[in-house]
Structures are given as structure tokens and as C-alpha cells.
Amino acid sequence: EAGVTQFPSHSVIEKGQTVTLRCDPISGHDNLYWYRRVMGKEIKFLLHFVKESKQDESGMPNNRFLAERTGGTYSTLKVQPAELEDSGVYFCASSRRPGGHTEAFFGQGTRLTVV
């Protein structure tokens, strides 16, 4: 079974530019999560999809962040325009069941650096 894959693995962009991160979850996993880890801090929840629907986006920092999951398969997370404080590692995770009561499988992350 293929794991969760994320693209790109690294991205360096200038402040004000746009970046789009992609996540392909494990096939058959309806639940898809985006998390972010800023240097040395916790892996912080951003949002949760169930299939193509946003179940919870209360962790999104502001309206410069837009996540989509068209067709309930892969998901994208767009940051526009990027700010310096958006730097960090963005993780995607997927699970068969929701609610944080079962293993979440993580991608390798996208390290975003805004300069």
C-alpha cells in the first residue's frame, strides 16, 4: 500500500508570492488532515477533510490559506500571499476513520521557507 505523499518536499519563496502544496492520501482514506510544525513547536492542526468536504478548518491561521480536496482524492493547500511567519513544515495525514481515535498516517512533509 502506497503511503501518504506530499509535493514538493521543499519550497523557498519570497514574501508575497504564492505557493501550493499537494497531498495524496492513502487510497480509501476518507479523512485527510493538514498540520503545520513551526520550528521547535507542536504539530499544530490546520484542517480536516472528510472526502471532499471540510469538516473543520478552525486551525487555519487566516484567509491567506486555502485548502481544497476536489473529488475527495488529493488535496492542495495554497498560501497567498505568503508571509515570513508561514515558514514551517506542513504535514498531511490521512486515516480511514475520523476523530483522532485511530492511527493517522503522515506524509514526509513540505518544508516551506518564506524569505
Partner 1 sequence: GENVEQHPSTLSVQEGDSAVIKCTYSDSASNYFPWYKQELGKRPQLIIDIRSNVGEKKDQRIAVTLNKTAKHFSLHITETQPEDSAVYFCAAPDTGRRALTFGSGTRLQVQP
Q: Site residues (CB under 8 A) for partner 1?
A: 3-4, 33, 35, 37, 40-45, 48, 55-56, 58-59, 91, 98-104, 106-109
Give 48 or 69: the residue with its C-beta nearer to partner 1. Answer: 48
Quote the cell numbers at residue 114. 518564506
Give 60 or 82: the residue with its C-beta nearer to partner 1. Answer: 60
Question: Could you tell me the smallest distance in angstroms from the CB atom of residue 79 to partner 1?
Answer: 20
Residue 54 identity (one-letter amino acid): K
Give 3 or 16: the residue with its C-beta nearer to partner 1. Answer: 3
Question: Could you tell me the smallest distance in angstroms from the CB atom of residue 46 to partner 1?
Answer: 9
Question: Could you tell me the smallest distance in angstroms from the CB atom of residue 106 to partner 1?
Answer: 5
